[in-house]
Amino acid sequence: MTWLILAGAVLTEVAATLSLRASEGLRKKVWIAPIVIGYLTAFGLLTLTLANGMPVGIAYGIWAASGVALTAVGARFFFKETLTWRMAAGIVLIAIGVLVIELGSQTH
């Protein structure tokens, strides 16, 4: 269940960040509510993740790294922003880093 809560935190943070991009610097006011609700929900779910016993280094590492990767992919899909092979390689490295963090946490 903790992993599902963390996944929710990641997805709502990504949605809020993409909404921030869609707002064009908050010029499109219709996006303000999704931004605020998204970030508040993301932090609330991250708090629940930690309250359920996931170590902060793992939870935050996965939340931040996954958010960066998914935001880059989402920006490419929704806003046609550039996603170069170097950026894709960075996303792969992020995924490997998250895996190493998770595997490292199981050895303590």
Instruction: Answer whether residue 95 shows pLDDT above 90.
Output: no
DSSP letter, residue 40: H
Joined tokens for residue 99: 């895996």
Share of the chain above pLDDT 90, in %: 77
Local confidence band at 107 (pLDDT 50, 70, 90 cut-offs): low
| Number of domains, the chain | 1
By the 10 Å C-beta count (0-12 exposed, 13-18 middle, 19+ buried), 54 is classed as buried
Determine if the pTM surpasses 0.85: yes
Kindly state the percentage of the chain with pLDDT values over 70.
98
Residue-wise pLDDT for 1-23, tens only, equals 999 999 999 999 999 999 999 99
Average pLDDT over residues 36-60: 95
Structural domain span for residue 71: 2-105
Task: Answer whether residue 27 shows pLDDT above 90.
Answer: yes
